[in-house]
């Protein structure tokens, strides 16, 4: 059974877990430990090159990823692009979640507030 590693700053929703099990045949979800999660969720905006910064995550994947495992990669654009390529080089399948957004307008007194509601649609492979 495939595993899904999560390079992602949130917890998966129940519908995302169900979709991963159904469409990607995922049997286990692997969240980053606290230290690696801090690295992924706090990419410094002032670094011109992220390779060294992301090395702990690359090493984790090198030691843990099996061919065919899935990695959900979403976050900082540069880090995401780099890690999607690394995952593919390691024999994994890099994916991202797609969503549908509905906007609801709510009248509050003389003001209109907009609320965006995001709903999971599917996982898409990076090409």
Per-residue pLDDT of the chain (127 residues; tens, 9 = 90+): 899 999 999 999 999 999 999 999 999 999 999 999 999 999 999 999 999 999 999 999 999 999 999 999 999 999 999 999 999 999 999 999 999 999 989 888 999 999 888 899 999 999 9
Q: What pLDDT does 116 receive?
A: 87
Q: Rounded to a whole number, what is the largest CA-CA distance in the chain?
A: 57
CA distance 89 to 85: 6
């Amino acid at each position: 059974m495939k595993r899904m590693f999560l390079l992602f700053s949130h917890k998966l929703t129940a519908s995302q877990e169900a979709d991963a099990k159904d469409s990607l045949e995922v049997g286990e979800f692997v969240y980053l430990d606290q230290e690696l999660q801090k690295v992924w969720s706090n990419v410094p905006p002032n670094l011109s090159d992220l390779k060294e910064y992301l090395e702990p995550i690359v090493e984790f994947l090198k030691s843990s990823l099996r061919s065919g495992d899935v990695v959900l990669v979403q976050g900082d654009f540069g880090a995401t692009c780099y890690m999607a390529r690394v995952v593919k080089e390691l024999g994994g399948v890099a994916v991202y979640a797609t969503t549908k957004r509905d906007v609801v307008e709510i009248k509050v007194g003389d003001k209109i507030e907009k609320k965006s509601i995001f709903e999971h649609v599917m996982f898409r492979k990076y090409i």
